[in-house]
Structure 1
Amino acid sequence: MATQIFDNIRAVRTKIAAQLDGFSTEQLNKIPEGLNNNLVWQLGHLVVSTEMLCYWRSGAMKERAVPLADNYRNGSKPEAFVPETEIAMLKERFFSSIDTLEAFYTEGALRVVEPFALGTFGIPANNMDELLQMCLWHDTLHWGNINVIRKLV
């Protein structure tokens, strides 16, 4: 199952990345009226959320740093204009983080998971395979948010 889930995450992220192509730095930073975040926040949120869920819920990798976690974690919102350099880094991590996660998974570093339920819907994750399914579900949920925001910028 593991190879398939990583392939599925990459496939969804390829579609999301294509949705973001062609937007300027200003457009990626624009918060449409009535909303509380923007396209770059959505991108950053997907990057850091997947890393946080997989590393921090893994008993073996609790101390692994997740760059920019405070900027894009659940409950955060855009606080400042995000420069092109940070956007480029997030776009690169959007895919490289999945490659890194897969390598750790294959090595067995991500086998232990502290069981929990995702707050929004209470979906349980008791092992890494369930957690990876949750990450895929989370990506597709935010893909919908991205599609809404991109029509408004």
Structure 2
Amino acid sequence: MSNSTFQFQTLDLARDFLEHYVKNVSESEARVIPKGFNNSILWNIGHIVTFTEKEIFGDTNREMKVPDSYMEMFLRGTKPADWIAEPPTLQTLLAQLAEQVSRIKETFHNRLDEKLSTQRSSPTAEKPATVGELLVLLCFHWGLHVSAVNSINRIIQNAKNSNEERS
């Protein structure tokens, strides 16, 4: 298996986990911010879409295909409490995520060695210098937010089940 196949399969796996965790989440549940959390399921998915778009397409000087409003709603340091505009729906974000993964594969399937146009910060000592290296970090980043989505969803579902048991 080539590195590109592995990296793209890992991206698919992260998306599949995310879709599994939210398959029964309602629009209103996606907006819940449980105690102890700063953000919702909707914010985490919007953050994945926006951050990935900015990093992989913006930093390789390609057209970004998310609305400008996403930058104000979903990048690091933002939170739903500060939103002025109406956010996209959960289904819109999931559709954009699926389309984004397809574009990443189509655009970069033979370009993993392409140099990035800017140096970026990284949680590792080494900074990603190529698209392939960036994809590895993006998969890690997705995993963090997929885990947050799963945790938030479990809290919501447990609260819902507790309320049903009391009824």
Q: Tell me which interval the TM-score lies in, with the shorter structure as reference length.
A: 0.7 to 0.9
Q: Distance in 2 between matches of 1:23 and 1:132?
A: 28
Aligned: 1:142 with 2:145: yes
Q: Tell me the TM-score normalized by structure 2.
A: 0.78
**2:36 maps to which of 34, 54, 64:** 34
Flag structure 1 segments of 5+ consecutive residues without an equivalent: none
Is 1:47–1:93's contact at 8 Å kept on the other side of the alignment?
yes
Q: Tell me the TM-score normalized by structure 1.
A: 0.85
Where 1:31 maps in the other structure, the secondary structure is: coil
Aligned: 1:104 with 2:107: yes
Residue 6 (structure 1) aligns with: 8
Residue 64 (structure 2) aligns with: 64
Where 2:127 maps in the other structure, the secondary structure is: strand
After superposition, give the CA deviation of every residue in 1:52-105 in whole Å (9 maximum; x if it has no partner).
1111221x32x535322321111111126966x632211111111011011111
In our comparison, the structure showing a higher alpha carbon Rg is: 2
Flag structure 2 segments of 5+ consecutive residues without an equivalent: 157-167
Q: Distance in 2 between matches of 1:31 and 1:96?
A: 27
Give runs of aligned pairs for residues 84-95 of structure 1, distance below 5 A.
86-95=89-98
Is 1:56–1:64's contact at 8 Å kept on the other side of the alignment?
yes
- AA at the equivalent of 1:36: N
Is 1:48–1:72's contact at 8 Å kept on the other side of the alignment?
yes
- AA at the equivalent of 2:79: K
Q: Distance in 2 between matches of 1:132 and 1:57?
A: 12
Q: Distance in 2 between matches of 1:107 and 1:33?
A: 44
